[in-house]
């Protein structure tokens, strides 16, 4: 292989490495967001399980004889 071809391949390789790192960083950031959202959903599920009146206000009303 001539030197020009090798240099071109090295440049392409470095560009691919940079792109791979960028994609990895984006994936990492997205995973952090997903983990946060999962935790929030779980907390909301527990909150709703503890107080069903939050979803349906009729469940929170006291019957007239109280």
Number of domains in the chain: 1
Residue 10 domain-assigned (yes or no): yes
pLDDT of residue 64: 67
Q: Which domain holds residue 7?
A: 3-59
**Distance (Å, rounded) from C-alpha 29 to C-alpha 6?**
35
Confidence of residue 7 (pLDDT cuts 50, 70, 90): very high
How far is CA 26 from its chain centroid? Answer: 10
**Is residue 66 one of the residues assigned to a domain?**
no
Q: How far apart are the C-alpha atoms of 23 and 35, rounded to whole Å?
A: 18
Identify how many contiguous H helices and E strands the chain contains and give both numbers.
1, 0
Q: Distance (Å, rounded) from C-alpha 13 to C-alpha 25?
A: 18
Residue 1 has pLDDT above 80, yes or no: no
Residue 65 lies in a domain: no
Determine, yes or no, domain membership for 38.
yes
pLDDT value at residue 49: 84
Quick check: is 24 in a domain?
yes
Q: Please count the CA atoms within 13 angstroms of the CA of 7 that sit on its side-chain side.
A: 3
Q: pLDDT of 8-59, one tens digit each?
A: 999 999 999 999 999 999 999 999 999 999 999 999 999 888 876 666 666 5
In a domain, 34, yes or no: yes
* pLDDT at residue 25, as a whole number: 98
């Amino acid at each position: 292989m001539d030197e020009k071809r090798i240099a071109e391949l090295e440049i392409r390789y470095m560009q691919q490495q940079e792109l791979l790192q960028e994609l990895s960083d984006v994936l990492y950031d997205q995973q952090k967001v997903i983990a946060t959202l999962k935790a929030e959903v779980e907390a909301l599920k527990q909150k709703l399980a503890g107080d069903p009146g939050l979803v349906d206000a009729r469940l929170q009303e006291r019957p007239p004889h109280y």
